Amino acid sequence: MGRPPVPMHLKRDRRLVVMVTDAENERLQEAARAAGAPSLSDWIRERLLEAAVAELDRS
């Protein structure tokens, strides 16, 4: 028995690749841990979406 399927409107099936240095990766990992994020991916997604909303609000 596996986990239940994710509803289609919540399914994340697109990949976004961002290249970083080892030092940048460590800094991002530390920030995500400090924020209590469940994962680096979750933390980055939230930060990017917040930045996108702020950017669009300025236009």
Residue 34 belongs to a domain? yes
Residue 6 belongs to a domain? no
Give me the tens of pLDDT residue by residue for the chain, a chain 59 residues long: 788 888 888 888 999 999 999 999 999 999 999 999 999 999 999 999 999 999 999 98
What is the count of structural domains for the chain? 1
- Cβ count near 22 (within 10 Å): 7
Residue 32 belongs to a domain? yes
For residue 48, what are the domain limits? 19-58
Among residues 8, 21, 37, which one has the least CA distance to residue 48? 37
Residue 38 belongs to a domain? yes
Residue 25 belongs to a domain? yes
Residue 12 belongs to a domain? no
Residue 4 belongs to a domain? no
Contact assessment for residue 40 and residue 20, using Cβ atoms and an 8 Å cutoff: no
- Cβ count near 44 (within 10 Å): 16
